Amino acid sequence: MPSIVRARGLTKRYPGVTALDGVDLDLPAGRVGLVGANGAGKTTLFRLLLGLSRPDAGTVEVCGMAVADDPIGVRSRIGYMPEHDCLPLDQTAADVVATFGELGGLPVRAARQRASEVLDLVGLDEARFRPVGGFSTGMRQRTKLAQAIVADPKLVLLDEPTAGLDPSGREEMLALVDRLGSFGIAVVLATHLLDDVARVCDHVVMLDGGRLVTDAPTEKLLHQTGTVTVDVGPASVQALAGALTARGLAVSTDDIGTLEVTVSGDADLDTVRDVVADMSLPLHRLTNRLTSLDDVFVHRAPVQ
């Protein structure tokens, strides 16, 4: 997959702090999760990608264009959804999105038409003629996403798109982000919520203190651990644990009433299935336990 973002030795210093320290990146044109705690350098990286800030050292290319040479050209190919509130509150969603479509270079008529389409896409078709000031947090986040994609960018930078959303709003936003990839829009999703990245991103970049910690496909990071999680309900956990131990399997229980069973192959998985069936237990879940991004982040070591 070709790189949508390519950085070499990217360094940005502010008085008293190095926001980015010699970062090398090759982000593929898919859905990339940019993970890091507050102050890790995510927003600084976005500003450098948008050409709104100049690096102290190193180079960065977006869509094959050097940002330093043509920041305006780069910006015309990028959509940006900031984390903070950034919408004109007294304008309708349709006007806001159409205006940012025009600012992105679309002709007036095309901007209004696409504003209507993308607001429909993000689920605001019926609310598009209401002032943004009366919107809920979820609706404002959707409007921000709509303005980011209205000009059909090659790359969209999403800064904490699920911030402040309730669980259902978060699910819907992640579903929308997931769909962007199928529209041919590359996504860089900056967040500190590792679950969000694990859900929708094909590639993960972790920053910590301005340094690159991880830059790898998600599936490589979330490798199987050789453990399966079995959920038969809290009432039957101990009985099942005893039965599996008697069949020679290593078993541990956790505090939410599920079993963690160490398996070495399909035969062990068959054994688990058969024991559950023989005991006539309700099998709610039988899943491979994967390394979580939290594990990766906690045990991180800088990329050499």
Partner 1 sequence: MSVPASTGAVYDRGYRPYDGPRGGRRAATAALFRTSLRRAIGLRRPWRQKVAPAILLAIAVVPAVINVGVGYLTRGTPAEGFEFITYREYLGVSSALLLFVALVAPDLVCPDRRQRVLPLIFARPLTGRDYALAKVGAIFTCVFAFSFLPQVVLYVGQMLVSDGALDYLVDNTAVLWQVPIAAALLALFYAGLGVAVASLSGRRMVAGATMLGITLVSSTVSAILIQADGGSVPGSDGHAAALVNILALPLQVRDLVFLGRIHEDSPLSGVSGGGGLAVAAYTAVVAVCLAVILGRYRSVET
> Which residues make up the interface to partner 1 (CB under 8 A)?
50, 52-54, 72-73, 75-76, 78, 80, 82, 84-92, 95, 99-100, 102-108, 110-111, 114, 117-118, 120-121, 147, 149, 151-152, 179, 183-184
Element (H, E) at 249: none
Note whether 38 and 192 are within 8 A (CB): yes
- Which two three-digit tokens encode residue 41? 């350098």
**Residue 89 vs 235, nearer CB to partner 1:** 89
Kindly state the smallest distance separating residue 197's Cβ from partner 1, in Å.
Answer: 22
Looking at this protein, which amino acid is placed at residue 286? Answer: L
Kindly state the smallest distance separating residue 10's Cβ from partner 1, in Å.
Answer: 17
Per-residue CA distances from 171 to 177, 178, 218 (Å): 10, 10, 19
**Residue 24 vs 70, nearer CB to partner 1:** 70
Tell me how far apart the alpha carbons of residues 116 and 110 are, in angstroms, rounded to a whole number.
Answer: 10
Q: Per-residue DSSP letters for 170-197?
A: HHHHHHHHHHHHHTT-EEEEEES-HHHH
**Residue 80 vs 297, nearer CB to partner 1:** 80
- Which two three-digit tokens encode residue 270? 């068959």
Residue 284, classed as helix, strand or coil, is coil
Per the listing, tokens 């798109």 go with 161
Kindly state the smallest distance separating residue 48's Cβ from partner 1, in Å.
Answer: 11
**Residue 56 vs 85, nearer CB to partner 1:** 85
Rg (CA), the chain: 23
Kindly state the smallest distance separating residue 297's Cβ from partner 1, in Å.
Answer: 28
**Residue 107 vs 302, nearer CB to partner 1:** 107
Kindly state the smallest distance separating residue 3's Cβ from partner 1, in Å.
Answer: 21
Tell me how far apart the alpha carbons of residues 149 and 114 are, in angstroms, rounded to a whole number.
Answer: 9
Kindly state the smallest distance separating residue 128's Cβ from partner 1, in Å.
Answer: 13
Tell me how far apart the alpha carbons of residues 240 and 259 are, in angstroms, rounded to a whole number.
Answer: 9
**Residue 85 vs 254, nearer CB to partner 1:** 85
